[in-house]
Structure 1
Amino acid sequence: MLLELPLGWTIALNAVGLPAMQMGLAWAFTRMPATIFERPPAASSDLRESTLAKLLAVKRWKHLMPDGASWFRGGFSKASLKGGDPSHLRRFVVETRRGEACHWAALATGPVFFLWNPLWADAVMVSALLLLNLPCIAIQRYNRIRFERLLAKYRHRYSNAPARSDLS
């Protein structure tokens, strides 16, 4: 702890600082261009999906988590899939990367709280950051794996389709 503050100030800084950091990062990430989060399609992910789904039971509880991106103008809601066309699925995949990166960035803010917190409060703040962000990271990865698999099926189906001239 570099700054020695009265307990009331420490509690106030934590109570205001944590949500402000989370929301500030969420707002900043919604303003970043989507191209930052675009990547080539991932390799087969069936094993990763089933492992993640079984290990964390993400499907059972993911609906309980809020979708923070929809709180900001221009944010892309990932609460439900609004279309099955490939362009929407690709956008959804990109947005899961954006969401995951935002939550990793939020976790990285933990050391800021070390400036004014005693050791026991550092543990509380790191625990809070983990509880707030790790479930969201798991959801983003779970959804991304599922939608990448759907896109791979779509690519496979249409790459093996006969050319139009062959359809008489």
Structure 2
Amino acid sequence: MSNLVAVAIAVVFWVGASLLIGLVGSRLSLGTLRSIARVAWWLRGPSVGWYRRQLQIETWKDRLPEAGGFGGGMSKRHLLTRQRSALERMYLETVRAELVHTGLLAVQWVPVLWLHAGFRVLPVAYAVIANLPFIAVQRYNRLRLSRIVRADDHWSIDE
């Protein structure tokens, strides 16, 4: 297989995987997201301050594209209201977005299996560049929201 064909297949794979994982993620129920959010390890990791100091996340996070509305999900670009139910929904949407980007990170390296050795860095670089910034933003936003919404609290939103 020529390098051009192999790269073209990798691009088709990336687009297909992105659409499929995004669609599956958008179909996760709020109850499923709540169950995931209640797992204690979900909030472990760096503090809000670490994201601000080390990643300077406030300077670039708003420049990332937002596809939360894809497939019936909810955009995370702006809060429409500060009611508890809206904050809880935004919290759950950060869980959804992190799951989607983690899933993408897990599969987007697969083209390494058919790419020529000189091109194998492409899928790994793409997976990291296309997903880690989004994962960082979702964790940062979830940590900020967790001050108001606790995963073990009674939720005021329904399916």
Q: Shorter-chain-normalised TM-score: which range?
A: 0.7 to 0.9
Residue 20 of structure 1 pairs with residue 16 of structure 2 = yes
Partner residue, 2:103:
105
Partner residue, 1:60:
59
Residue 85 of structure 1 pairs with residue 83 of structure 2 = yes
Matched pairs, number:
147
CA RMSD of aligned residues (A): 2.3
CA distance in 2, matches of 1:48, 1:113: 34
Q: Could you list the runs of 5+ residues in structure 2 that have no partner in the other structure?
A: 154-159
What TM-score do the two structures reach when normalised by structure 2? 0.82
How far has the Cα of 1:110 moved from its partner? Answer: 3.3
Residues 41 and 148, structure 1, Cα contact 8 Å, conserved in 2: no
Q: Could you list the runs of 5+ residues in structure 1 that have no partner in the other structure?
A: 156-168
CA distance in 2, matches of 1:81, 1:58: 18
Amino acid at match of 1:20: G
- Runs of 4+ that moved beyond 3 A: 40-45
Amino acid at match of 2:30: A
Residues 107 and 129, structure 1, Cα contact 8 Å, conserved in 2: yes
Residues 106 and 133, structure 1, Cα contact 8 Å, conserved in 2: yes
Residue 40 of structure 1 pairs with residue 57 of structure 2 = no
Q: Which moved more, 1:15-24 or 1:141-150?
A: 15-24
Cα deviation per residue 1:45-76 (whole Å; 9 max; x = unaligned)? 8x70011121111111111111112233x111
Partner residue, 1:166:
none
CA distance in 2, matches of 1:90, 1:77: 14
How far has the Cα of 1:138 moved from its partner? Answer: 0.5
What SS class does the counterpart of residue 80 from structure 1 fall into? coil
- Which has the larger share of helix? 1
How do residues 96-135 of structure 1 correspond to structure 2 at under 5 angstroms? 96-135=94-133
CA distance in 2, matches of 1:41, 1:127: 30
What TM-score do the two structures reach when normalised by structure 1? 0.78
Amino acid at match of 2:143: I
Residues 91 and 142, structure 2, Cα contact 8 Å, conserved in 1: yes
1:44/1:128 CA distance change after superposition, 3 Å: closer
CA distance in 1, matches of 2:30, 2:112: 32
How far has the Cα of 1:114 moved from its partner? Answer: 2.2
Whose radius of gyration is greater, 1 or 2? Answer: 1
